[in-house]
Amino acid sequence: MECMTLKSIFKHMFNLGLIGLLSMPAMAEIIVKDGFVRAMPPSAPNTAAYFTLENHGPATELVAVESSIAKEAQLHTLLTENDIVKMRQVEGFDLPSHGTLKLGEQGDHVMLLGLASPLAEGNMVTLLLTFKDGQTLEIQLPVAKAGNAQADEHHHHHH
């Protein structure tokens, strides 16, 4: 067996450590942009959240949303059947690698059902997004009237 010097031992340890770091899967970086939760009259039991996700990593799927402000959060899409627009719950939304997922008023969105209390315009709502690979992303969105939402740099979060 070859006798190793302290220097060569450290060199091997460094190389093994470097290889270990390089072979680790890169954490997907997902950024939320232009999001808001729709302001509703105080008597409304439900509302919706809209936002855009930018994925700077491998493809994944948004599979669940949770929020303490609602009894339930569901992923929904709008479908047109016989000239009637219907809302349907879905299992998830694909988020392509280095692509975007837009959840907007005219299509895919998050429904917040059974609001714990009325949401005032300007309040912040925390949502916990869960992805197919088990990773989560906590985001904060302002409550705003439809069409009056602001894209605010302070509401961007990283995955």
pLDDT given at position 56: 92
| Residue 94 lies inside a defined structural domain of this protein | yes
Question: 21-31 burial by CB neighbour count: b if 16+ within 10 A, else e?
Answer: eeeeeeebebb
Per the structure, how many domains does the chain have?
1
| Residue 78 lies inside a defined structural domain of this protein | yes
| Residue 5 lies inside a defined structural domain of this protein | no
pLDDT given at position 47: 97
| Residue 111 lies inside a defined structural domain of this protein | yes
pLDDT given at position 146: 80
| Residue 8 lies inside a defined structural domain of this protein | no
| Residue 114 lies inside a defined structural domain of this protein | yes
Residue 157, CA distances (Å) to 100, 119, 126 in order = 15, 22, 12
Place of tokens 């091997």: 12
pLDDT given at position 11: 64
| Residue 51 lies inside a defined structural domain of this protein | yes
Boundaries of domain holding 112? 30-155
CATH number at residue 129: 2.60.40.1890
- What is the pLDDT tens value at each position of the chain, 159 positions in all? 556 666 665 565 555 554 444 444 444 489 999 999 999 999 999 999 999 999 999 999 999 999 999 999 999 999 888 999 899 999 999 999 999 999 999 899 999 999 999 999 999 999 999 999 888 999 999 999 986 554 443 344 444
pLDDT given at position 29: 86
pTM score, two decimals? 0.75
